Every structure is written in C-alpha cells, then in structure tokens.
Amino acid sequence: MSRSEQPRLVVGVSGASGIVYGLRALDACRELGIESHLVMSKAAALTLSQETSLSPADVNARAGVVHKVSDIGAAIASGSFRTLGMIVAPCSVRTMSEIATGVTSSLLTRAADVTLKERRPLVLMVRETPLHLGHLRTLVKLAEMGAVIAPPLPAFYALPATIEAMVDQSVGRALDLFGLSWTPVKRWGQDIGPQGDAKTKAEA
C-alpha cells in the first residue's frame, strides 16, 4: 500500500458463538487507526441478538466501512483492492468449510478467498469444540492453502481477571499476525513473566 493510503483490514464476522471477538477486532482497528471493512453473515446477526444487547446498527457503527454480505461486487471482493489481509472473528465451521472448497456463496467467504489468492494473511478464529475428523481435515487443508488457524483460546499466563481481558488477549494476538500491536495484549517477558515481573517491581 502507498504511504497515502490508510491501512485497511477486512473483518469478517460469521455465525459462530463468540461475536465479541469480532466486535473487539473492530474496536482495535479504530484505536490503531486502521480502516476496518466489515462484512457480517446473516447467522452472525442472530448470534448478536443471543449474546449481546446490541443491534446490527450498533456493530456497523464500530466499523470504518460496512459491506452487505450479499454484495458480491463490493471492493473487498477484488484482489486489486489492497488490504493488510482479513480476519474472521469468530469463524464458524460452515464459513471455514466454504473457504476451504473455494466455492463461496457470500461476500464474506469471497473476500476470504481473494485474501488467499493474493497471498495476504487470512486469520480464522475458529470457534468449535470438540472437532471431528472432518473438521480437522478441513483445517489442515486451510493451513496448506495459507490460512492461519487461530482459535480464541485463553492465555492464562496473562492472569486475566475478567472475560473482557481474555477476549482482548486473543484478539490482540490475532492482530499480531498482521503486524499490528494493540495495547491490551500482555506479552511474556515484557509485561508478564520473569523479566516482565522484574521490570514491574523495579518501576514500583
């Protein structure tokens, strides 16, 4: 991207449980000065109503640019539209399966396919457990295609005191994969761990 262009990140939100990961990814983009391009599946809107008191309009307000999931002609459907890559947070099994086959039925999975073909980072925060063999084979296929599989697992070494802290740590570590450093992330040997603890005590 040229120096005159604001960095862009595509944020896909699918219907898996954990819509808060997508919400915090949008918040992080805003705080980091990254232009977020949101595309949210229809199933994600249902999850939103079940897991939060927010409306789709509230989510849209957090994004820099909003694309309808049915708008296959949107900018993010083309490889000539340059971005840092795409994060799908959360990523459902259906969404990961569509991306793995290359047979995409919505703007969300089309944008992910474009990200892969352009050799840009595609980070999938897959939310499913337990995983059967079919899921595992699909994940291996995605990894072989170039996607990064980043399930939102809690990092207990960061000693999170709240659910919000656990969410932010997972989102922040996913953003690390795009070269983005978000303040809430607790880093081993820097903020926490032997060296981090020593630094904290020295400053105290």
Give the model confidence (pLDDT) of 33-57 as tens digits.
999 999 999 999 999 999 999 999 9
- Kindly state the helix (H) or strand (E) to which residue 42 belongs, with its residue range: helix 42-51
Structure confidence at residue 193 as a pLDDT band (50, 70, 90)? confident
* Mean pLDDT (whole number) for 119-138: 98
- Global pTM reads 0.93
* Mean pLDDT (whole number) for 19-29: 98
Q: What is the pLDDT of residues 54-82, one digit of tens each?
A: 999 999 999 999 999 999 999 999 999 99
Give residues with Cβ within 8 angstroms of 112, minimum separation 6. Answer: 12, 86, 88, 95, 99, 104, 122, 147
Kindly report the average pLDDT of the chain as a whole number. Answer: 94
Domain positions in the chain: 8-203
CATH architecture for residues 8-203: 3-Layer(aba) Sandwich (3.40)
